[in-house]
Amino acid sequence: MSEVPSPLRSGSASPAARWGAPLCLLAVVAVTDLVTGDRLHVLPVMAAVPVLAAALNGVGVTAALAGAATATTALVQLVQGRWSTETGDVTILTLVVVSLAGLPACSVRCRRERRLRQAQSVADTARQAALRPLPRRMGTVHMCATYVPARSEGTGGGDFYEALHTPYGVRVLVGDIQGKGLSAVAASATLLGSFREAAHEEECLADVCNRLETSATRQIRALRDEPFSERYATAVLVELPHDEPVARVIHCGQPEPLRVRGDKVSAHTPSAPGAPIGLARLVGAEPVTQTIEFRPGDRLLLYTNGFIEARDRGGRHHDLGAHAHARSAEPLEDMVRGLRGDLLRHSEGGPADDAALVVLEQHTGPHRASYPWSR
């Protein structure tokens, strides 16, 4: 497989946990009140049971747990001899009022969560449609990619990547659209479509970059229906020519690629940093192509900000270079799978921003593409 599967977004708590938490609170309050007797009346805390239930469950379950809390409160009051007393009546009335107020609040929360899940499903489907599976290899270049979605729900990002086998060599695009949601996914799909055409038609990699700039300034602006759009993309374009052990790179505000040679990892910073796609004409910047050596056995890591900006609990950024060095001897797919796992462990379940990674490995052999569905 050329793609390491991305982890699914974490779902909500299990039904047992959603039921269990309010029931545990109910039991603790009831037992505590029975044990302490007249020394300490804790039954008013029972009002927290329907509140907790409304935060975790649907309307039906919330109503059932609220009813259970009310019945338990009444039973404890009977046992304690506080039924029909002023304090007991106030406790029951408070519990009923809180329960009745919690039901419509629970209904509103459930509707919002359904809309959020629907929006997330649409964004994920659109992203999957735009990001086609990469082939295992193109010519002498083997490749593997992974996409790690942000841990926050409903904020699908616009990270994107593509690799094409063209008459001018293997051409790769990795980038990140500014912003979140469906508009970012649509903008990334626009750039991917432009790249898929330009990569085959333009002989010079810089002209491919200029075509992307045209798409960003014209099509994305029209997509947002604005005379001027703040939507832009950081990206890196790479060309691996046939029968030439080099990689030509154009930086457009994206983190510098990492080259792994043996057990050494080196970052290749641009000689002239380029402007993000969509802003180049605004600042008068032209794409600059940098050529680096890329021999058989070398690997090139292309990634988006999510892979290096993810923080652990102590606020430290994820060190992709160090992890790449530790995994430099692993097979290509194992390395990518391991780097994804390293990111998830560092960020404790998932980065705050979407993260994409494409690793290219130079080999010797016939120049032909091999796709995931070929055998």
**Stated pTM of the model:** 0.70
Closest by CA to 300, choosing from 238, 210, 223, is: 238
The answer to whether the CB of 230 falls within 8 A of the CB of 214 is no
Q: Which residue shows structure tokens 């060190």?
A: 319
The DSSP code for 363 is -
Closest by CA to 291, choosing from 253, 260, 325, 251, is: 251
The DSSP code for 265 is E
Given this model, what pLDDT does residue 8 score? 39
What phi and psi, each to the nearest 5 degrees, are found at residue 259?
-105, 130
Q: Which residues contact 288 (CB under 8 A, 6 or more apart)?
A: 206, 250, 251, 270, 271, 272, 274
Tens-digit pLDDT string for the chain (375 aa)? 455 654 434 345 677 778 889 999 999 999 998 888 777 888 889 999 999 999 999 999 999 999 999 999 999 888 888 887 888 888 889 999 998 998 998 999 888 888 877 766 666 666 666 677 888 989 899 999 999 888 765 555 678 999 999 999 999 999 998 877 667 777 888 889 899 999 999 999 999 999 999 888 776 655 555 544 557 889 999 999 988 999 999 999 888 999 999 989 999 888 777 889 988 887 888 899 999 999 999 999 999 999 999 888 888 999 999 999 999 999 999 999 999 999 999 988 778 888 999 999 998 765 444 544 332
Q: Which residues contact 10 (CB under 8 A, 6 or more apart)?
A: 151, 349, 350
Which residue ranges form the domains of the chain, and what is each CATH number?
15-121 (no CATH), 132-370 (3.60.40.10)
Closest by CA to 248, choosing from 211, 287, 222, 275, is: 287
Given this model, what pLDDT does residue 131 score? 72
CA angle, 337 as apex, 332 and 339 as ends, to 5°?
95
Q: What is the DSSP string of 130-174?
A: HSPPPPSEETTEEEEEEEE--SSTT--EEEEEEEEEETTEEEEEE
Give the separation between CA 313 and CA 345, rounded to whole angstroms: 11
Give the separation between CA 278 and CA 235, rounded to whole angstroms: 11
Given this model, what pLDDT does residue 330 score? 95
Q: Count CA within 13 A, CB hemisphere, residue 26.
A: 24
